[in-house]
Amino acid sequence: MASSSSLATRRDQMFPLLTSEDIARIRRFGELRHYEPGARIMEAGKVGPGLVFVLAGKVRVTQGGKVSALEDVVVHGTGNFLGELAQLSDRPSLVDSTVIEPVDAIVLSPRRLRDVLVQEAALGERIMRALILRRVGLLEAGGTGPVIIGTAGSSDVLRLENFLTRNGHPHKSLDSASDSCAQTLIHRFQIASERMPIVLCPGGQILRNPTERDLARCIGLVRAVDPDAIYDTVIVGAGPAGLAAAVYAASEGLSTLVLDCRSFGGQAGASSRIENYLGFPTGISGMALMARAYNQAQKFGAEVMIPDEATRLHIDQADGPRFLISLGKDEQVRARSVIIASGARYRRLDIENLSDFEGSCVHYWASPIEGRLCAGQEVALVGAGNSAGQAVVYLASQVKKVWLLVRGGSLEATMSRYLVDRIRALRNVEILTRTEICGLEGTGGTLDNVKWRNRETKEESSHALSHLFLFIGAEPNTDWLVDSGIKLDGNGFIVTGQDNQSHPLATSREGVFAIGDVRAGSVKRVAAAVGEGAQVVAALHAFLANSQVSTAAAAE
């Protein structure tokens, strides 16, 4: 990890040497422990003790788990510390750490680590930066985490790769058709083709074509819900709005749980580059921006459960008005308030055989995974919003040609000017206005031809393309609110601020707020979503304070 070319110049930040004064500040937060040579302080696939600061001795860190190459990552000595972002959120370690000389150390539990990050700001900044850079290093090295074995480019392999990538989790993939190690493992465990792909987890477990939730459980991304816990607020959705609300709520001392059925970042997390977000004049990828927000929320103590999908919202009247949110696996979480930031689902084309190609040839985002898959080819992209524009710019750097299909008469009506100018300057992008997809042709889940027609002339044409990208807007993700009493508008978006007495972000159900793209009338921009996430916390405080007063009065 330390030899990664992009991080070589940041080694001192990745593995800082703490001074005796730094260690003295840390002592009051942790507990002293001693480890003998050969002891395993951290083991991939298992939850470790926390962040470990070495007072004396040496520890070797290697790529972890039963399925890795066990290559050395680094040797820690006096003044160094063991751990990365997994230790911040109390999740299983991604590496193995073995004592090679007797070690005396200070161990910080995740809760006490968060205390250090908040109370010792300067030292906490150095530690947090190191944790983030170490995770980046593990992602770049690709030698640790679960191993996906299957046909490269197949829909299920792409589904699992995208899930792990979007959640910032290191992993690697082996092509079952060409990789000798993959073929040996398939033969050894006698894996039938219909059970592919398989995933080898760091703990040695083998999953056969798992769901994202099953994979998340195996690698420790999600845990069982505490049925006795009552959160001050549960935030449904981990996009820009939900993560902003989590940061502000948790930083102000509210017990906060964030749920999302897919990954952190929402649609913004899939943007290849955002250039009009305040404070980033050179631009930033959606993944990088949302990863910072995700880590920031955890720094302040917000719990995040991904993937965990909210399926119903209702009221528990047993011992006072509390909200119940039903999840999968017959689990429920309880909350004193709810913030709905569930965003929107990608809109699909009305093409009869579209589902035959989704996941392998039809894509709803353009990440490096899709970039590699389409490298050197011609692709088609449908859409005219900013997300579509960002995807076009990214894909144009990876593929031979991008056919940009626009239903309207121009890009200028729906896309920011800077993106329009950039796209028009790209030589390998051809813009077709007043054009729509009218057919897809292919067999066995492989797309061979894409047909489109001019909406005015009705002229049709067919093109030999294997990949189609759809950025045609989204529909509100509100199906789970059926029978909840939450008022929706005619398009399914949540109505807020119905009268002059209510907060602009309050729904028709007292104690439930809506922010971001799921809210009727919201501005569909990352900055606007973040602003609403910050704004809603003030209303949340007021509601919780009034609820406590009402409860106390009722008790009297």
CATH number of the domain bearing residue 152: 3.40.30.10
Last residue of a domain, one of 91, 108, 141: 141
Spatial contact of 225 and 125, defined as CB atoms under 8 Å apart: no
Specify whether the backbone of 64 is left (phi greater than 0), alpha (psi in -120 to 50) or beta: beta
What is the domain extent for residue 398?
A: 354-472
Query: In whole angstroms, what is the distance from residue 418 CA to residue 274 CA?
Result: 11
Does 418 lie in the same domain as 367? yes
Closest alpha carbon to 537 in 237, 242, 309, 117: 242
Closest alpha carbon to 451 in 314, 318, 519, 353: 353
- On whether residue 29 sits in a domain, the answer given is yes
- On whether residue 224 sits in a domain, the answer given is no
Does 97 lie in the same domain as 211? no
Does 239 lie in the same domain as 377? no
Three-state DSSP string of 274-296: ECCCCCCCCCECHHHHHHHHHHH
Q: H or E segment at 424?
A: helix 417-424
Last residue of a domain, one of 141, 172, 203: 141
- On whether residue 277 sits in a domain, the answer given is yes
Residue count of the chain, please give it.
Answer: 556
Mind listing the pLDDT tens digit of every residue in the chain (556 residues)? 444 554 567 889 999 999 999 999 999 999 999 999 999 999 999 999 999 999 999 999 998 766 656 788 899 999 999 999 999 999 999 999 999 999 999 999 999 999 999 999 999 999 999 999 999 999 988 878 999 999 998 999 999 999 999 999 999 999 999 998 889 888 888 888 888 999 999 988 999 999 999 999 999 999 888 888 999 999 999 999 999 999 999 999 999 999 999 999 998 888 888 888 999 999 999 999 999 999 999 999 999 999 999 999 988 665 555 899 999 778 999 999 999 999 988 889 999 999 999 989 999 989 888 999 999 999 999 999 999 999 999 999 999 999 999 999 999 999 999 999 999 999 999 999 999 999 999 998 899 999 999 999 999 999 999 999 999 988 899 999 998 999 999 999 999 998 766 899 999 999 999 999 999 999 888 999 999 999 999 999 999 998 775 554 444 4
Residue with token string 């398989």: 198
Number of domains forming the structure of the chain = 4
What pTM was estimated for this model as a whole?
0.90
Last residue of a domain, one of 419, 442, 472: 472
